[in-house]
Structure 1
Amino acid sequence: MHCRKRWPLALLLMIGITACSSLPTRPAPAIEIDLPRFMGTWYVIAHVPYWLEEGKLTARDVYRLREDGRIDNDYVFKRRWDGPEHRWQGVSTVQPGSGGAHWQVQFVWPFKSDLHVLEVSADYQWALLSNPRRDLAWVFHRQAEVDEAELQDWLTRLSAYGVDPTELRRVEQVPSS
């Protein structure tokens, strides 16, 4: 029964991610990602969300490198502060020759979507990601809270990659006081 409830939602998730767009695609940046260092928990600080991400709280991605070279990709979130935590489980495949910067993400077979790691800090504390059309984007950080000056710097950086910074929305990680 539990799997039956998740299937329609996961299908809608993938349709939303792979929906057609008139924006041109752009190649993954020519950077090298140290995949073992990239693994772990990343808090979604801000994003240009697709419709299934709208309104999610405490959103984070958890990555685990598998023995076969693929990546277990869990998206964890709440819908309300006093509600339960939800987890969508997917698998990502790093595309050969991309230096670890181009992933294909799959939450529901047979649907896949492309993800580019645009930039990651030298200490692997923050990362900027987008889809190839640059109409979806994510700001990741190892900590749930960051200051506004850092966020503004990341918005400027994303703009240089072709992401519209006015479309980015902050993700609430802790309740407002």
Structure 2
Amino acid sequence: MTKLSKLLLCLVLLGVAGCTGVPENVEPVQNFQLNRYLGKWYEIARLDHSFERGLSRVTAEYSLNPDGSVRVVNRGYSREQDKWKQVEGRATFVDSEDVGHLKVSFFGPFYASYVIVELDKDYQYALVSGYSKSYLWILSRTPSLPQSTVNELVQRAAALGYQTGRLIFVDQAAAPATQ
């Protein structure tokens, strides 16, 4: 392997590793309990990204794989294409299993951070970030949250430096109920 090839490989590996970090001034939740987090979550709001653009009724479902990793199924409805879209991935803890910091992959060996920034004591809503402040989701166990709770989560995200003015609030009733 040439020196240039080794350098390029190192840069790619550093870039991929950097995608599993935590944004500056953000701390993942402690005393995290995966078994309580498993199940279905509804996306209440998100920062825009091409992989979810135009989707409504977005959900994420987490279940345990036999090997201890987490099966991740994200789905949403595209009005434009009049169809449901779904992607399946796999998540594992970055460090300790009691810290809400996982890495998730939907495309082979490429992982990205899944950082649980805020989680209520009953595991009914969560504020989740990616590896940078360009990624943010507000999730709930139900298709809606009280506006006061949404406001608190948005304020918390804004205090951490997220561009909350760019949040897209997901329409959870904008698609046919049949799948």
Q: TM-score, normalised by structure 2?
A: 0.78
**Structure 1 gap segments, 5+ residues each:** 1-17
SS at match of 2:174: coil
Q: Looking at CA atoms only, which structure, 1 or 2, has the larger radius of gyration? A: 2
Residue 25 of structure 1 is matched in structure 2 by: 23
Pair 141,30 (structure 1): closer, same or farther in 2 beyond 3 Å: closer
CA positional deviation for 1:52: 1.6
* Distance in 2, Cα, partners of 1:82 & 1:137: 25
Matched residue, 2:70: 71
Partner of 2:10: none
1:93-137 deviation digits (Å, cap 9, x = unpaired)? 111226231111100112211120101110110000001322110
TM-score w.r.t. the length of structure 1 is 0.79
Give the aligned length.
Answer: 156
Q: What's 2:133 paired with?
A: 134
- Given the superposition, is the C-alpha separation of residues 49 and 99 from structure 1 closer, same or farther in structure 2, using an over 3 Å criterion? farther
* Paired residue type of 2:135: L
Identity %: 24
Pairwise CA RMSD: 2.4
Is the partner of 1:156 in helix, strand or coil?
helix
Q: Find the aligned partners of 1:66 and 1:109 in 2 and give their Cα distance.
A: 16
Runs (5+) with no aligned partner, structure 2: 1-15
Secondary structure of 1:150's counterpart equals: helix
- Tell me which amino acid in the other structure corresponds to 1:56: L
Deviation beyond 6 Å, 4+ runs, structure 1: none
Partner of 2:166: 167
For 1:108, the equivalent position in structure 2 comes to: 107
Shift of 1:151: 1.4
Equivalent AA in structure 1 for residue 107 of structure 2: V
2:82 paired with 1:83: yes
Q: 1:121 to 1:25 in 2, by over 3 A?
A: closer
SS at structure 2 position matched to 1:47 = strand
Rounded to whole Å, the distance in 1 between the matches of 2:71 and 2:127 is: 19
